[in-house]
């Protein structure tokens, strides 16, 4: 079997109080494992507090995981020194949610696009400019954008700049954290189409983080559904949307409002709030809101079980989740 | 119950002064809301939907924003009709929080962090209805119960930071309903919430409207939410209403190319998989929303419109009656 580009094993992140902060331990991630093959797009989907961003940041070691392995090309990133990690990081890039906050207002687009190359000491000045301009072209921005500032561009165009910045380093892995959530509906689809065509053309490998299952359907090969720091379900995209197995995935899909007035309005509304990750429920973390929860669900942490090839769910209620 | 509208806006024009220039954020806007009816105002950034709601409430930023034309007729609890554009600050204060109530996007910023939830819900009842402290406090607990907050006595004594996002939005809804308003303006009330919590809040608003019969102006960018909650919809683009009608009519057979594009752009579960399999890109609207400072001449949507012809650039199209009480601001609406 081909080695996956990224292999995450037992990733756990507990945010513990420091001398500057008080309060309980926040269990953001608990024993998360998954693989991302070369050229694959994996979606990480969940609501607030699900840990999706914590996974993305832990992979790049923008935050330090508490325990677990993050193997990238077979190298465990969690064991690397700061200098070694910096060398690895040029192979991975991050696309941020807010194109207004993530681009410096004081730098030209050209400076923004070449900064990473400069820091990684890649190429001569001319070569760096050449790569930056190629990246601009790849995201369908005009060449004259190079000498302009971020404020001269609309939200959608700024997000294209954010994508170009990631592409300029020709990374092996891109982590895109809610890249379309801040954009208008008519612009969202443009950016998703762009990411998809870049992915096909350049064979990009991507972790695509989103709170919206409807947004990731088009771009992702595999979708991981997270809830309170644990994986509830993993499946190839087609299987997940056609045949969701976990009660949480079903509820999440059912909660997305559909603009078609002809669609029946019978929705399953989950009761209650998402529990605090500082005080997660015992056993299955979803059981406090699950319509099918039984006593047993409080006693055991449900293991991820394979229900069909590549399709896993963490639910012991087989009679309802199939 | 009378069916005269609670809100009747005609020819509204709201301008902002930006760098010495006047920019119309809303123009030629007509809309009505009947008691017990929900009208959704839907549009993208800069479409003017929020400016419309701020114009109604008289909450435009002073010296910068101003209603320059049109009238906003509002029928209060007493049945008296007043033009909100002609009221002074004192007159508006008597109406806001009393006859008209508001719920905003971010519950953390609309709640005061240093007062308890109970105190904040009780305050409008003391100010507008002259309730005693004790009576208002008891009513606040009842309201918390009505909006589905468990253990309301305890919650009333807590501060906003002690509640989850969904709970806080329930609390702001309780505050809005405290004086039994005839009109509720909800500006993106579920946008900051998780999707499973959004479903709960939409359900709650519908239930409360059934019980109390207030009109609701629901401002949102989310077409799915519109289909869920509204009776009628007004689609806004670059400061103007471009299409209006019942949600069922407009969403099933849109009569404006922008509405068509917007409907197609919304990701639908299950459809994307099929498009992907066939290698077809997601449908989009070309280009981006124009800046209000540099609006194109004629129809503002023409530069992005697949149906645009020279006549579209000649002048701003009027709202054409397209039957069944519907209107479209497109000269080619019959071909849409």
Q: Looking at the structure, do residues A126 and A256 belong to the same domain, yes or no?
A: no
Whole-angstrom distance, CA of residue B75 vs CA of residue B35: 10
CB spacing of B269 vs A48 below 8 angstroms? no
Tokens of A174: 């891109």
pLDDT of A266 above 80? no
How many of the other CB atoms lie within 10 Å of CB of B310?
Answer: 8
Domain-embedded: residue B1: no
Could you tell me if B293 lies within 8 Å of chain A, comparing CB atoms? no
Q: Looking at the structure, do residues A261 and A193 belong to the same domain, yes or no?
A: no
- What pairing do the DSSP bridges indicate for beta strands A67-72 and A75-76? antiparallel
Whether residue A224 contacts residue A42, with contact meaning beta carbons closer than 8 Å, is answered with yes
In chain A, residues 75-134 whose CB comes closer than 8 Å to chain B:
none
Report field, pTM of the whole predicted structure over 0.95: no
Residue B178's nearest CA partner among B126, B217, B105, B112 is B126
DSSP state of A50: S
pLDDT digit string, tens, across residues A114-173 = 999 999 999 999 999 999 999 999 999 999 999 999 999 988 999 999 999 999 999 999
pLDDT of B1 above 50? no
Query: How far, in whole angstroms, is CA A17 from its chain's centroid?
Result: 26
In chain A, residues 63-82 whose CB comes closer than 8 Å to chain B:
none
User: What is the model's pLDDT at position A273?
Assistant: 87
Residue B201, domain CATH: 3.40.50.300
CB spacing of A252 vs B195 below 8 angstroms? yes
| Candidate from A255, A273, A289 with C-beta closest to B195 | A255
Whether residue A176 contacts residue A95, with contact meaning beta carbons closer than 8 Å, is answered with yes
Direct distance between the N- and C-terminal alpha carbons of chain B, in angstroms, rounded to an integer: 39
Domain with B119, as residue range(s), is 7-230
pLDDT digit string, tens, across residues B207-231 = 999 999 999 999 999 999 999 999 9
Name A47's Cβ contacts closer than 8 Å, sequence gap at least 6: A211, A227, A252, A274, B194, B195, B196
Query: How far, in whole angstroms, is CA A39 from its chain's centroid?
Result: 15
Average pLDDT over chain B reads 94
pLDDT of A108 above 50? yes
Domain final residue, candidates B187, B206, B230:
B230
For chain A, the domain total comes to: 2
How many of the other CB atoms lie within 10 Å of CB of A256?
Answer: 19
Query: How far, in whole angstroms, is CA A125 from its chain's centroid?
Result: 33
Whether residue A1 contacts residue A18, with contact meaning beta carbons closer than 8 Å, is answered with no
Domain final residue, candidates B209, B230, B251:
B230
User: What is the model's pLDDT at position B43?
Assistant: 93
Q: Where are the alpha helices (DSSP H) in A120-236?
A: 125-138, 155-168, 185-202, 213-216
Q: Looking at the structure, do residues B187 and B84 belong to the same domain, yes or no?
A: yes
Tokens of A282: 């015992």
Q: Looking at the structure, do residues B30 and B179 belong to the same domain, yes or no?
A: yes
Q: Looking at the structure, do residues A97 and A167 belong to the same domain, yes or no?
A: yes
Domain-embedded: residue A89: yes
Residue A20, domain CATH: 3.40.50.300
Domain-embedded: residue A231: no
Whole-angstrom distance, CA of residue A72 vs CA of residue A60: 10
Domain-embedded: residue A144: yes
In chain A, residues 143-162 whose CB comes closer than 8 Å to chain B:
154-157
CB spacing of B281 vs A259 below 8 angstroms? no
Could you tell me if B269 lies within 8 Å of chain A, comparing CB atoms? yes
Could you tell me if B252 lies within 8 Å of chain A, comparing CB atoms? yes
* DSSP string covering B172-201: HHHHHHTT--SEEEEESTTTTS-HHHHHHH
The CA–CA distances, whole Å, from B303 to A50, A114, A199, B327 equal: 41, 33, 29, 21
For chain B, the domain total comes to: 2
Name B171's Cβ contacts closer than 8 Å, sequence gap at least 6: B107, B111, B117, B120, B121, B144, B147, B149, B155, B160, B163
ipTM of the complex: 0.89
Domain-embedded: residue A19: yes
| Candidate from A185, A215, A270 with C-beta closest to B196 | A270
Domain-embedded: residue A239: no
Domain-embedded: residue A1: no
Question: Nearest C-alpha of chain A: how many angstroms from B279?
Answer: 10
Q: Looking at the structure, do residues B138 and B284 belong to the same domain, yes or no?
A: no
pLDDT digit string, tens, across residues B239-267 = 999 999 999 999 999 999 999 999 999 98
pLDDT of B304 above 70? yes
Q: Looking at the structure, do residues A192 and A313 belong to the same domain, yes or no?
A: no
Domain with A321, as residue range(s), is 245-322
Q: Looking at the structure, do residues B200 and B297 belong to the same domain, yes or no?
A: no
* DSSP string covering B274-323: HHHHTTPPPP--SS-PPPGGGPPSSSTTGGG-TT--GGGGTSPPP-EEEE
Confidence band of A1 (pLDDT split at 50, 70, 90):
low
A32 membership: H or E segment, kind and range: strand A26-36
The CA–CA distances, whole Å, from A223 to A42, A54, A286 equal: 6, 16, 18
pLDDT of A21 above 90? no
Domain-embedded: residue B235: no
Q: Looking at the structure, do residues A86 and A199 belong to the same domain, yes or no?
A: yes
Name A218's Cβ contacts closer than 8 Å, sequence gap at least 6: A192, A196, B267, B272, B273, B275, B276, B282
Q: Looking at the structure, do residues B52 and B150 belong to the same domain, yes or no?
A: yes
Residues of B in contact with A263 (CB under 8 A): 227
In chain B, residues 7-66 whose CB comes closer than 8 Å to chain A:
44-45
User: What is the model's pLDDT at position B93?
Assistant: 94
pLDDT digit string, tens, across residues B31-44 = 999 999 999 999 99
């Amino acid at each position: 079997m081909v080695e996956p580009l990224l292999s995450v094993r037992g990733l756990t992140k507990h945010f513990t109080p420091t001398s500057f902060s008080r309060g309980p331990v926040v269990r953001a991630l608990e024993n998360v494992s998954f693989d991302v093959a070369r050229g694959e797009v994996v979606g990480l989907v969940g609501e607030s507090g699900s840990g999706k961003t914590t996974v993305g940041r832990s992979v790049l070691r923008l935050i330090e995981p508490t325990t677990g392995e993050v193997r990238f090309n077979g190298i465990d990133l969690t064991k690397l020194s700061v200098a070694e990690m910096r060398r690895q990081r040029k192979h991975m890039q991050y696309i941020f949610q807010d194109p207004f906050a993530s681009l410096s207002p004081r730098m030209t687009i050209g400076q923004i696009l070449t900064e990473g190359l400069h820091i990684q000491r890649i190429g001569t000045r001319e070569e760096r400019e050449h790569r930056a301009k190629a990246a601009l072209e790849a995201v369908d921005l005009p060449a004259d954008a190079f000498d302009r500032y971020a404020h001269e561009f609309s939200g959608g165009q700024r997000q294209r700049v954010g994508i170009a910045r990631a592409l300029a380093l020709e990374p092996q892995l891109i982590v895109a954290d809610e890249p379309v959530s801040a954009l208008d509906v008519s612009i969202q689809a443009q950016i998703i189409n762009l990411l998809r065509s870049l992915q096909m053309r350049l064979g990009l490998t991507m972790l695509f983080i989103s709170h919206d299952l409807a947004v990731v359907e088009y771009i992702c090969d595999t979708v991981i559904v997270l809830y309170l720091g644990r994986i509830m379900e993993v499946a190839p995209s087609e299987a997940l949307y056609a045949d969701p197995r976990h009660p949480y995935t079903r509820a999440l899909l059912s909660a997305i409002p559909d603009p078609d007035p002809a669609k029946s309005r019978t929705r399953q509304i989950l009761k209650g709030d998402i529990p605090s990750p500082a005080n997660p429920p015992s056993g299955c973390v979803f059981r406090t809101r699950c319509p099918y929860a039984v006593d047993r669900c409080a006693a055991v942490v449900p293991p991820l079980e394979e229900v069909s090839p590549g399709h896993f769910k963490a639910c012991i209620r087989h009679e309802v989740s199939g | 119950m009378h069916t005269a509208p609670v809100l009747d806006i005609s020819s509204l024009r709201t301008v902002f002064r930006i760098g010495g220039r006047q920019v119309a954020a809303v123009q030629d806007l007509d809309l009505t809301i009947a008691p017990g009816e929900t009208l959704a105002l839907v549009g993208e950034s800069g479409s003017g939907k929020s400016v419309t709601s701020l114009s109604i409430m008289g909450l435009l930023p002073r010296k910068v924003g101003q209603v320059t034309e049109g009238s906003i007729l509002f029928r209060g609890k007493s049945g008296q009709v007043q033009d909100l554009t002609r009221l002074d600050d004192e007159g508006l204060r008597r109406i806001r929080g009393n006859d008209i109530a508001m719920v905003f996007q971010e519950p953390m910023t609309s709640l005061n962090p240093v007062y308890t939830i109970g105190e904040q819900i009780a305050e409008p009842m003391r100010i507008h209805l002259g309730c005693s402290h004790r009576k208002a406090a008891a009513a606040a607990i009842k309201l918390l119960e009505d909006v589905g907050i468990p253990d309301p006595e305890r919650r009333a004594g807590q501060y906003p930071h002690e509640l989850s996002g969904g709970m806080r939005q329930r609390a702001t809804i309780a505050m809005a309903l405290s004086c039994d308003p005839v009109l509720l303006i909800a500006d993106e009330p579920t946008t900051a919430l998780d999707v499973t919590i959004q479903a709960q809040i939409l359900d709650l608003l519908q239930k409360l409207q059934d019980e109390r019969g207030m009109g609701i102006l629901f401002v949102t960018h989310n077409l799915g939410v519109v289909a869920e909650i509204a009776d009628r919809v007004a689609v806004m683009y670059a400061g103007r209403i471009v299409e209006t009608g019942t949600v069922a009519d407009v969403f099933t057979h849109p009569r404006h190319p922008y509405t068509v594009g917007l409907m197609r752009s919304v990701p639908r579960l299950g459809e994307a998989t099929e498009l992907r399999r066939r290698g077809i890109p997601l449908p989009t609207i070309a280009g981006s929303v124009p800046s209000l400072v540099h609006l194109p001449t004629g129809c503002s949507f023409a530069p992005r419109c697949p149906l645009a012809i020279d006549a579209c650039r000649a002048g701003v199209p009027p709202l054409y009656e397209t039957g069944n009480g519907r209107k479209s601001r497109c000269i080619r609406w019959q071909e849409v």
